[in-house]
A and B are shown apart, each in its own frame.
Chain A
Amino acid sequence: MASFLLGRSRILTHHKTLSVLAASSSSSYSSLFPPFSFSRHESTKAQAQLEFEHEDDRNQVIDFPGGKVGFTSEMKFISESVQKRIPCYRVLDDNGELVKYSSYVQVSKEMAVKMYSNMVTLQTMDNVLYEVQRQGRISFYLTSTGEEVVNIASAAALSPDDIILPQYREPGVLLWRGFPLQQFVHQCFGNTHDFGKGRQMPIHYGSNKLNYFTVSSPIATQLPQAVGAAYSLKMDGKSACAVTYCGDGSTSEGDFHAAMNFAAVMDAPVVFICRNNGWAISTPVEEQFRSDGIVVKGKAYGIWGIRVDGNDALAVYSAVHTAREIATREKRPVLIEALTYRVGHHSTSDDSTKYRPIDEIEYWKMERNSVNRFKRWVEGNGWWSDKDESELRSSVRKQLVEAIQVAEKAQKPPLEDLFNDVYDQIPSNLHEQETLLRKTIEKHPKDYPSDVPL
């Protein structure tokens, strides 16, 4: 049944098969996606029931642009959402034990250990750089605390050719792809080794080599861009997709809706991963939307979607792995809503205890800790020991301390980088402004930082 999924991993099926939320009608659904025949059965049953209910109006259809629509004599408003919320797909329970009958994409020992190591590395990087910001050595920082799993497990499920368009709380994806710790630290210090040439605030990473578009602060702008990137992949006949991340808050922006609709209409191979972490700075999801979260929005736009436990590494891995296969092979978008929690403050400019209960934070930090849950599973398989853990943590910490020393000593980018890259070539107005600025610097050297080479 899952023949097309056998690319790199094997599907393990305990009992039930994978189910997919069908966005389109049952007929186009089944023809586009024959391997899931069980779903076709369910859909057909539903349709039969529908026909039975409205026997009067059988064969009565309005032949409307876009497709035939059946009539009903019943005046019935569609309610805002079904009474039962869309369930959340999970594989591991809170103790890191496999849930009975779960279907998931298998993860090898090597892969699991690498995933867990990356989670620990991300955690350590966050802890260290957060402290470095508190000491005033970098101007800003933002952690992924609580969302390590959605970062790393999603990254692990992708192919390096997949193009990432991040929001800002997904540095783990870049880490997974091999962005060196030193490079993260250089960016935060905005020194001459920062690929972004010191122009953006800390955490605005990007790597052309690793197919990771540079982070931009404005919310949700990456989403329609991802659709354009995906369309290009499709036109070029690439067997890759665009993968874009966003938060729950982002889904309120017009760009989110533009992206969903474009993706559907353009049949773009794009995977939207929405980290629903409960909060957009101080705004809780209840004040953000009244829908059943985000996954249902995909349905309205004609996009397949799945809600997944974002703190369950195996569920995230499986859902993302499958979604990218669907996107890439079927040339269609997929929306993944990962339920997780922003355990840290929004950023170093925020104190979240001002607007949310400490108990809530503690609950997610302790009881629903995503990294610990995965660790238990990895340990349970005998793949990880306390010794491995302490060795890894101290080695990462050591690397970071060294990286910080190097980054702090490094020079800032040279002054010419202020004027480069505004355009492909420096236009005359900027040449003129540079000449003037250099004269001013000569006259008033004390006005300017000494660590920027002139």
Chain B
Amino acid sequence: MLTKFGRWVTLASRGFSTTTSFQKGASEEGLKSLNLCSAINQALHIALDSDPRSYVFGEDVSFGGVFRCTNGLAEQFGKKRVFNTPLCEQGIVGFGIGLAAMGNRAIAEIQFADYIFPAFDQIVNEAAKFRYRSGNQFNCGGLTIRTPYGAVGHGGHYHSQSPEAFFCHVPGIKVVIPRSPRQAKGLLLSCIRDPNPIVFFEPKWLYRLAVEEVPEGDYMLPLSEAEIIRQGSDITLVGWGAQLSTMEQACLDAEKEGISCELIDLKTLIPWDKETVEASVKKTGRLLVSHEAPITGGFGAEISASIVERCFSRLEAPVARICGLDTPFPLVFEPFYMPTRNKIVDAIKSTVNY
């Protein structure tokens, strides 16, 4: 599992100690081995505990949610702050916008990212433009939409999609995707407390698979800051979420063949940290982007275009994109559809040998 993490933003009021204390040899009581699902649960717990004007709601969240991420919250914080909603995504987000606009932290769950589309209008035309259209008289910055995304090996069309790019085309919202339990907790708390509406995609394949030492207290990780999780000199790889662990394996394979890869976790897709990627590509002269979503119109295209604009003269090879295919997400053909480790390794090699 990935263990690197970036700068810690601590909440003075919660009294969490220093960043170095988790980096190594943190005191036993401060760290706990958690999977991603439990890390999310802890973040929600802290959010509800630290702000009485915070709410958690969505389909089936009351009994703990279909992925168990909201387990125990209703019992602890009561059914008025943690509750089931009717089965209606546009309702969930619209309700969340109104709640947030009244100065609350509305933490909405959409059961699967595949089912976020009924709420698309509320997100794109409402949440994203709430502040701008009112001349900043109103905002719904307290809204955070959590939703599990991505492949799980057997999800077929409607339990596998990665729809982040649709939302990256919308000025006014932020899009954040964590790669690991520790990241998930710190980023989710930042999202909940950020004064802008945010769509937070959770890599559901990692809910139980990814286990990491996670600080028990309240901490936040900065948004719009990418993180170099692996230093290298020959090629820059950019990704987010679950795809990073596949990319890291590819980096290890490439290393065996003498290729040094720099791996960047973008974390926040909009507004994204161009500078970190740019600096890295200026150093390595090569870029590969990888995501599960279909390649055409994926967020990889935006990264590629921006980096070509900024680093054209430094690039030694075309930007490579290893992504999902331009088909609906297929059940039986999932292994063929996916941007696999070997697809990435091959692309690393051909880019370096261009």
A residues lining the B interface (CB < 8 Å): 139-140, 190, 198-201, 204, 216-219, 249-250, 252-255, 280-283, 287-289, 349-350, 354-355, 412-413, 415, 417-419, 422, 429-430, 433, 437, 440-441, 443-444, 447-449, 452
Task: Please indicate the chain A residues that have their CB under 8 angstroms from the CB of B346 in the complex.
Answer: 440, 443
- Chain B's closest residue to A196 (CB) is B331
Report the contact-size class of chain B (Cβ under 8 Å from the partner). Answer: 35 or more
Q: B116-148 CB contact bits vs A (8 Å, 1 = yes)?
A: 011000000000000000000000000000000
Q: What's the Cα separation between A165 and B346 when bound, in Å?
A: 45
List 19 contacting pairs A-B, 8 Å CB cutoff, sorted by A.
A198-B332, A199-B156, A199-B157, A199-B331, A200-B157, A204-B156, A217-B114, A217-B159, A218-B115, A252-B87, A252-B88, A253-B87, A254-B90, A288-B86, A413-B332, A419-B327, A429-B296, A437-B336, A447-B340
Given the contacts A418-B325, A447-B342, A282 and B332 also touching, CB distance less than 8 Å: no
Tell me whether B328 and A422 are in contact (CB under 8 A): yes
Residue of B nearest to A430 (CB): B326
Interface of chain B residues 230 through 267 with chain A (CB within 8 A) = none
**Cα distance A281–B295 when bound, in Å?**
34
20 extra A-B contacts, CB within 8 A, seeds A199-B328, A282-B60, A418-B325: A200-B157, A217-B158, A218-B115, A218-B158, A249-B87, A254-B90, A282-B84, A283-B86, A287-B62, A287-B84, A288-B86, A289-B86, A349-B66, A350-B66, A418-B337, A437-B325, A437-B336, A440-B342, A444-B342, A447-B340
Q: 5 tightest CB-CB pairs across the interface, nearest first?
A: A198-B332, A252-B86, A217-B158, A139-B154, A201-B156
Task: Report A276 CB to chain B, min CB distance, Å.
Answer: 13
Smallest Cβ-Cβ distance to A439: which chain B residue: B346
State A252–B88 Cα separation when bound (angstroms): 6
Q: Which residues of A contact B64 (CB under 8 A)?
A: 354
Contact: A418 with B66, CB < 8 Å?
no
Min CB distance B189 to A, Å, is 26
Q: Please, which residue of chain B has its CB at the minimum distance from the CB of A200?
A: B156
Taking a contact as CB atoms closer than 8 A, the residue among A355, A443, A452 that contacts B63 in the complex is A355
B332, A199: Cβ atoms closer than 8 Å? yes
- Of all chain A residues, the one with the shortest Cβ separation from B59 is A283
Contact with B336, one of A218, A288, A415, A443 (Cβ below 8 angstroms): A415
Residues of chain B within 8 A of A349, CB atoms compared: 66
**A residues in contact with B336, CB < 8 Å:** 415, 418, 437, 441, 448, 452
Residues of B within 8 A of A418 (CB): 325, 327, 330, 333, 336-337
Complex CA gap A217/B91 in Å reads 19
Choose among B60, B114, B157, B331 the residue that contacts A283 (Cβ–Cβ < 8 A). B60
Name the B residues within 8 Å of A216 (CB-CB): 158
Would B331 and A201 count as touching, CB distance under 8 A? yes
Interface residue B335 (Cβ < 8 Å from any Cβ of A): yes
Return the contact of A199 from the options B59, B83, B86, B333 (Cβ within 8 A).
B333
Complex: chain B residue closest to A191, CB-CB = B332
Determine if B155 is an interface residue (Cβ-Cβ < 8 Å): yes
Q: Which residue of B lies closest to A290 (CB)?
A: B86
Give every chain A residue within 8 A of B335 (Cβ-Cβ). Answer: 447-449
Are B63 and A354 in touch, CB under 8 angstroms?
A: yes
Residues of A within 8 Å of B91, CB to CB, are: 252, 254
**Residue in chain A with minimal CB distance to B160:** A201
B60: which A residues are within 8 A, CB to CB?
281-283
Chain A residues whose CB sits within 8 angstroms of the CB of B118 once the complex forms:
218, 253-255
Q: Is B331's CB under 8 angstroms from A198's CB?
A: yes
Contacts of A250 in B (CB 8 A): 87
In the docked arrangement, what's the CA distance between A251 and B347, Å?
A: 48
B343 interfacial by beta-carbon distance below 8 Å: yes
Which A residues are CB-close (under 8 A) to B330? 198-199, 418
Complex CA gap A48/B91 in Å reads 41
Q: Chain B residues with Cβ under 8 A from A413's Cβ?
A: 332
In the bound complex, residues from chain B placing their C-beta under 8 Å from that of A452 are 332-333, 336
B26: min CB distance to chain A, Å:
34
How far is A350 from B64 in the complex, measured between Cα atoms in Å? 12
> With A and B bound together, what is the CA distance between A286 and B343 in angstroms?
50
CB distance from B64 to the nearest CB of A (A): 8
Interface bits B83-98 vs A (CB < 8 Å: 1, else 0) = 1101111110000000
A436 to chain B, nearest CB (A): 9
- Tell me, in angstroms, the Cα distance from A447 to B156 when the chains sit together: 19
Cross-chain contact A415 with B333 (CB below 8 angstroms):
yes
Residues in chain B near residue A287, CB distance under 8 A: 62, 83-84, 86
Q: How far is the CA of A280 from the CA of B84 in the complex (A)?
A: 11
From A356, which residue of chain B is reached at the shortest CB distance?
A: B63
Nearest Cβ in chain B — how far from A428, in angstroms?
A: 11
Contact with A along B331-354 (1 / 0, CB 8 A): 111011100101100100000000
Chain A residue contacts of B333, Cβ below 8 A: 198-199, 415, 417-418, 452
- How many Å from the CB of B342 to the closest CB on chain A? 4
Chain A residues near B155 (CB, 8 Å)?
Answer: 201
Q: Which residues of A contact B159 (CB under 8 A)?
A: 201, 217
> A289 vs B87: C-alpha distance in the bound complex, in angstroms?
10
Contact partners of A415 in chain B: CB under 8 A: 333, 336
- A201 CA / B91 CA spacing, docked (Å): 27
Q: Within the assembled complex, what's the spacing in Å between the Cα atoms of A254 and B337?
A: 32
**With the chains together, A449 CA to B154 CA distance in Å?**
14
Q: CA of A141 to CA of B91 in the docked complex: distance in angstroms?
A: 29
CB distance from B119 to the nearest CB of A (A): 10
Q: Is the CB of B340 within 8 A of A282?
A: no
Given known pairs A190-B332, A440-B346, A447-B342, the reply for A429 and B86 (CB within 8 Å) is no
